[in-house]
Structure 1
Amino acid sequence: MVRLSPLQREDVAHFYKWIADPEVIEFSMSVFQSMSTPQQVDAWFVATLQDAKSLNLGIYATDTNELIGYAGLSGVSTTNQSGEYFILIGEKAFWGKGIGTAVTKEVVAIGFTTLGLNRIMLTVSEPNTGGLKAYAKAGFRVEGRLRQACLRRGSFHDKIVMSMLKSEWQQ
């Protein structure tokens, strides 16, 4: 249903629409909450593509080759053999179809095999029940809680810290 491939410069146009939709970015990176112009999105996107400590992959629909989201690993540390997982499925028509779980498993496999990581972690907003389920299905375990670490729509909520070790990974 989807394939992962490195993001391309021309993919930025999809992010204009996604970042402008509060529902799409509600539980996503804080930086998305403050971007409101194409120039801001362009600057973020260029920096993202140039970030040597991150793996940034586009999620493309296999039948149309349309970019529907992106996922990867940020803050990759070769010293600590660790990184932080992220995903954004920007096209709402693809929500709730198991794509998040499938992509998560694929990126985790890349992290453990190609990048040689030992630990992959993530944070997820507690109200993001779909994300919590997808990450648990992919093999992540709850490690802790960051109390009131996120402010959305005028209210604070907790962020759940989850991780997976290479020794726990189900290939």
Structure 2
Amino acid sequence: MKVTIRPLVESDAYTSVKWRNDPEVFKYTGNTYKNEIKIENELEWIRKVTASPTDYRCAILADDVYVGNIYLTDIDGTSAHYHIFIGNKEYWGKGVAKQASLQILDYAFNKLKLTSVALRVRKANISALMLYKKLGFVEEKADDTWISMRVVAE
């Protein structure tokens, strides 16, 4: 399966809004939504985040099918925060997240010349924790719910 990433575009909202309203997709993220996300909200969100100079927000494509999102946020010249979710559940457990993560980390370290990338993950998200460790992320701190991790440029 060929996995690629590309910057988010406004039309992605028509797919991603479905994922945001699926509690199973977002159960391990830091985002919880009390109300249904409407297409207008999703379009507005994509316009806002794609205009941000401190964010690099991408769609994940598997064999040209839009299956999730991956981001670098709070980019400050030396570091950024990493986020990912696979919204299309048919692609869970197929290595898509690993391939997309390798691409965005390559972008972070080789194109943006960052020195580190940080993330926060729920302790209960075992598959994500395993992936992050394979990618070189190291635990920095933890509480009852969350683990903070970081990977540094080689």
Please tell me the TM-score bracket, short chain as reference. over 0.9
State the match for 1:3 in structure 2.
Answer: 4
Please state how far the C-alpha of 1:71 moved relative to its aligned partner. 0.4
State the match for 2:33 in structure 1.
Answer: 33
Unaligned runs of 5+ in 2: none
Provide runs of 4+ in structure 1 moved above 4 Å.
none
Please state how far the C-alpha of 1:38 moved relative to its aligned partner. 2.2
**How many residues are treated as equivalent by the alignment?**
152
Normalising to structure 2: TM-score of the pair? 0.92
State the match for 1:163 in structure 2.
Answer: 150
Look up the equivalent residue of 2:126 and give its one-letter code: T
State the match for 1:153 in structure 2.
Answer: none
State the match for 1:72 in structure 2.
Answer: 71
How far apart, CA to CA, are the structure 1 residues paired with 2:95 and 2:65? 17
State the match for 1:152 in structure 2.
Answer: none
Q: Does 1:144 align with 2:148?
A: no
Please state how far the C-alpha of 1:72 moved relative to its aligned partner. 2.0
Unaligned runs of 5+ in 1: 149-157
Deviation readout 1:59-109 (Å, 9 max, x if unpaired): 1122xx22101102000002xx00001111100010011111221121111
RCO higher in structure (CA 8 A, sep ≥6): 2
Deviation readout 1:22-45 (Å, 9 max, x if unpaired): 000112242x52452222222222
Look up the equivalent residue of 2:72 and give its one-letter code: L
Look up the equivalent residue of 2:151 and give its one-letter code: M
Provide closer, same or farther for how the CA distance between residues 52 and 141 of structure 1 changes in structure 2, counting only shifts above 3 A: same
Paired residue secondary structure (1:28): coil
Please state how far the C-alpha of 1:5 moved relative to its aligned partner. 1.1
Across the aligned residues of Structure 1 and Structure 2, the Cα RMSD in angstroms comes to: 1.4
State the match for 1:132 in structure 2.
Answer: 129
Look up the equivalent residue of 1:85 and give its one-letter code: Y
Deviation readout 1:139-158 (Å, 9 max, x if unpaired): 1111111x35xxxxxxxxx1
Counterparts of residues 5-154 of structure 1 (less than 5 Å): 5-30=6-31, 32-34=32-34, 36=36, 37-62=38-63, 65-78=64-77, 81-145=78-142, 147-148=143-144
